[in-house]
Amino acid sequence: MTNTSNTSHKRFTLGISLKLFIAFWLVIITSVLISYLITMQFKQLPLQEQATPQQLKILVKFSEKVNDKEKVKLKELQRNFYRKYQQDLIIKRINNNRIYLPRKPGWFEIRNYLEKNPLNNPVTIDFGFAKVTSSQPIMIDGKQYQFFIAKEIHRKHIINLIKQLPVAIRILLLFSISFLCCWLLAKSFSKPLIAIQKASKDIGEGKLTTRITEFDQRSDEFGDLARSFNQMAEQLESNISAHQRLLGDVSHELRSPLTRLQLAVAMAEKNIGNTEEQQKHLNRCELEVERLDEMIADVLTLSRLEHNKNTCVFEEVNLNKLVNKIVNDGQYFATSKQVEVIFIEKLNYTISADEKLLASAISNVVNNAIKYSPVEQQVIVELKEQSNTIMLSISDNGSGVPESMIDKLFQPFFRVADARDRSSGGTGLGLAIAQQAISLHHGSIVAKNQSSGGLLITITLPLST
Ligand code: ADP
């Protein structure tokens, strides 16, 4: 499995690098060739200028010395000329158009030019790297020749240097430089793609901690892509670990009532015949089954809210009426504790909401406030508008929540003191469900300890959802 994935990764790496490289290289070579063909049309001929009398004098003088001589070696003539004048002598044999010139890089251009042009008049031709002065007719061994003098110009211009190189070397240079540039370009494009492909593969294989670290600091589009990828991986990891934690918590939480149920069943069996004892244990069984049912229902609700976000039915809801009803219902339970629930409403608000869902979230918070409120105290429910949002605050005078735990209040199964809340029958899922429900209404819910004591829960809802 790993072997196959390694091979496919290698194939991808090689494939993408090669494809990009070939594409870049082809584009460069073709554009160079096209531009060469186009510039060939406008290619400038070497500049012709008037021959300097000095050069002409040398040419005439040397020609007179050599003229009509026999058994003269051309190579030697050239050597002697160079020794004397530090310039090169170019000889052209007229009848076969053959040019004798020193082997120097780039001088093939001079050869081509002289082959094509008779140049009988006295001119100087500037080839960029050498100036050639023409020409003096001469007879050697009874054959007709033409003498030219070439004076090298040492202009250190890169173009001139390249011009002097033979065509094969120039083509090789073009191929090697373009090869290198294209390879580097292809690498710089393919590297991020390969890293993203590898990271996606790793995530697919379950390595959720995988992040792209090589080029996420880059300020270009690849950097953006890497950062988005990392953000996605982060979200995925946190979602999956939250689900794993939830699954672990659910199994753990289900075990406690099941154990108590088992125990109660065993006790009931043991007390067969003792009707009173048996009834007590059967009542316990019933209670634990109820708790199990309640917990499973809450887990299902939470899961439904997390996953089926589109199942809400939004309609126009009068918020004041809704909160009023919840407060009245809560008051019924609060009275038994001599707790008073006070509802302060400023304006009348109608919002678009899933009435049942919103009601369950608000009533959970109100019921908690009543549950954790000391006897003969007040629970204040206030509905007002602030910074273009609707704010519903629920406060009590209870013991509040330890500051270090306040952030965990909305996590599933979180309870401040296990024993106390277990005996009060809570599952620790109520606030988690409320948070999901409020967020489905594009709102938020926060908890804060009040300076005067007790917990303050604030639900914020947009004015028009
Ligand atoms: P439960 O079903 O246990 O009440 P919740 O999610 O509604 O679950 O609450 C989670 C925990 O938050 C509670 O167990 C309790 O410890 C704490 N809590 C919630 N509301 C209050 C409050 N008004 N005062 C103090 N503690 C609270």
Residue 1 confidence (pLDDT)? 46
Atom of ligand 1 nearest to the CA of 364: 7
- Which single residue is written with the structure tokens 């994935």? 5
pLDDT digits (tens, 9 = 90+) for 371-426: 999 999 999 999 999 888 999 999 999 999 999 999 999 998 888 875 444 555 67
Contact 143, 93 (CB under 8 A): yes
**Spacing of C-alpha 168 from chain mean position:** 44
- Ligand 1: nearest atom to the Cα of 415: 14
The CATH number of the structural domain formed by 47-163 is 3.30.450
DSSP state of 443: -
What is the pLDDT, as a whole number, of residue 164? 67
The dihedral of CA 401, 403, 409, 410: what is its sign?
positive
Tokens of 263: 């125990």
Is the pTM higher than 0.85?
A: no
Which of 296, 333, 407, 409 should be mutated for ligand 1, with most atoms under 8 A from CB? Answer: 409
pLDDT tens-digit map of 232-257: 999 999 888 888 888 888 888 888 88
Residue nearest to atom 23 of ligand 1 (CA): 369
Taking the centre of ligand 1 as the mean of its atom positions, its distance from the CA of residue 322, in whole angstroms, is 22
Q: What are phi and psi of 366, to 5 degrees?
A: -65, -45
Task: Give the residue, by CA position, lying nearest to ligand 1 atom 2.
Answer: 426
> Which stretches of the chain drop beneath a pLDDT of 50?
1, 419-421, 465
Q: Which residue has a Cα nearest atom 8 of ligand 1?
A: 428
Query: For atom 11 of ligand 1, which residue has the closest CA?
Result: 415
The whole-number pLDDT of residue 249 equals 85
Angle, CA of 174, 28 and 176, to the nearest 5°: 30
- Estimate to the nearest angstrom the gap between the alpha carbon of 256 and the chain centroid: 46
CATH 3.30.565.10 fits domain 311-462: yes
For the chain, the domains span 2-43+166-203, 47-163, 254-309, 311-462
Q: What is the pLDDT of residue 247?
A: 86
CB 357 within 8 A of CB 440: yes
